[in-house]
């Protein structure tokens, strides 16, 4: 019974800050991790696409949150399908609360018109979650000065399957999508009992206002976008825009819902995110860096969040001509 209580308290402290904002990992450059945002984006590229993402959240708080994601997806134009895989790792807290997952996704698209598509996607993931029991200090260690607890146990760990799905409508200028994550509400408890991961609903979209172009090459444009997500009693809105002047992208987003308060003294205000991106056309590569300025009560200690994304797309010339719709950059 004592061990069960210890684990419950430790798990609560390890995840309290995370649950106060969101039940799942999130990225400021959400379009720079497309198949994580919405499985329907799987294969929404010329042919091959490789993506790497890194997020360091609240570096001012010791061992807060660090997230890595690497993905690959492929556009099978002959059968109007896309397939993809992703590996994700998230680590938080002094106990190294770690979530590692492998996901496989599939999307099918229907071409409404030459420059309009409807896409449907499904994603299946296998995740492992654990924390390092040896990094924790218990009451008996404080009283005795011992480096080892009398109740030391094997590192708690759980494995679970996760199911996500999404839909997307996209043209050369407009995109709008919805996604459901954690559809099966898997049990993620590291103690006895059940702690189901709540289902997450998100909706996202944007529009590209073209300022100048040369043939099919866009030289300058302005693109406002948004992403709203809801999970259990928490919800959040990212809204902003980026300006592209080849080869540079500049963007700013606000995260929060200022008109909503969870409690009278706890407004739903999180951060301002500033982004700069670079298109390296000679290498078919895009690089994006963003920094979140915290607006909540954690502002004085969190030092915001930094995020880096690298996207590499390659394709034969014949494949490039078959893609009539575009994926947002960051």
The pair of three-digit structure tokens given for residue 4, joined into one six-digit string: 């069960």
Specify the pTM. Answer: 0.83
Sign of CA dihedral 27, 28, 29, 31: positive
| 2-320 is classed CATH 2.40.160.40 | yes
The pair of three-digit structure tokens given for residue 79, joined into one six-digit string: 């059968």
Q: Which of 274, 237, 232 is nearest to 259 (CA)?
A: 237
**What pLDDT does 330 receive?**
75
In this prediction, residues 209-225 reach a mean pLDDT of 89
Domain boundaries, the chain: 2-320
Residue 255 scores a pLDDT above 60: yes
In this prediction, residues 132-161 reach a mean pLDDT of 62
pLDDT band at 63 (very low <50, low <70, confident <90, very high): low
Residue that is written with structure tokens 């963003």 in the block: 290
Task: Convert the pLDDT of each residue in 85-102 to its tens digit.
Answer: 999 999 886 677 889 999
Residue that is written with structure tokens 């993402």 in the block: 53
Task: Convert the pLDDT of each residue in 189-200 to its tens digit.
Answer: 877 778 889 999
Cα separation, 33 vs 26, whole angstroms: 10
User: Which comes out higher in pLDDT, residue 60 or 277?
Assistant: 277
Residue 218 has phi, psi (to 5 degrees) of -85, 120
In this prediction, residues 167-171 reach a mean pLDDT of 94
Residue 279 scores a pLDDT above 70: yes
**What pLDDT does 324 receive?**
58
Q: CB count, 10 Å around CB of 217? A: 9
């Amino acid at each position: 019974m004592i061990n069960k209580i210890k684990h419950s308290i430790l798990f609560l402290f390890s995840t309290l800050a995370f649950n106060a904002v969101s039940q799942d990992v999130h990225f400021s450059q959400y379009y720079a991790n497309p198949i994580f945002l919405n499985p329907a984006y799987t294969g929404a590229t010329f042919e091959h696409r490789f993506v790497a993402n890194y997020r360091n959240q609240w570096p001012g708080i010791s061992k807060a949150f660090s997230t890595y994601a690497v993905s690959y997806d492929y556009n099978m134009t002959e059968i109007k399908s896309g397939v993809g895989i992703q590996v994700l790792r998230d680590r938080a807290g002094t106990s190294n609360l770690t979530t590692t997952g492998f996901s496989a996704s599939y999307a099918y698209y229907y071409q409404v018109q030459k420059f309009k598509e409807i896409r449907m996607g499904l994603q299946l993931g296998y995740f492992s979650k654990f924390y390092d029991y040896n990094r924790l200090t218990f009451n008996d260690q404080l009283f005795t000065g011992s480096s080892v607890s009398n109740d030391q146990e094997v590192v708690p760990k759980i494995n679970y399957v996760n199911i996500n799905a999404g839909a997307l409508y996209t043209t050369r200028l407009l995109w709008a999508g919805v996604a459901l994550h954690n559809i099966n509400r898997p049990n993620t408890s590291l103690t006895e009992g059940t702690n189901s991961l709540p289902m997450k609903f998100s909706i996202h979209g944007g529009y590209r206002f073209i300022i100048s172009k040369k043939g099919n090459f866009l030289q300058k444009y302005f693109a406002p976008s948004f992403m709203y997500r809801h999970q259990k009693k928490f919800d959040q809105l990212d809204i902003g825009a980026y300006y592209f002047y080849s080869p540079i992208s500049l963007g700013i987003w606000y995260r929060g819902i200022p008109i909503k308060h969870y409690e009278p003294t706890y407004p739903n205000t999180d951060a301002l995110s500033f982004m700069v991106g670079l298109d390296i056309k000679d290498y078919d590569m895009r690089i994006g860096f963003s920094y979140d300025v915290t607006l909540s009560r954690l502002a004085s200690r969190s030092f915001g969040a930094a995020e880096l994304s690298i996207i590499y797309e390659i394709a034969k010339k014949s494949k490039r001509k078959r893609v009539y719709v575009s994926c947002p950059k960051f």
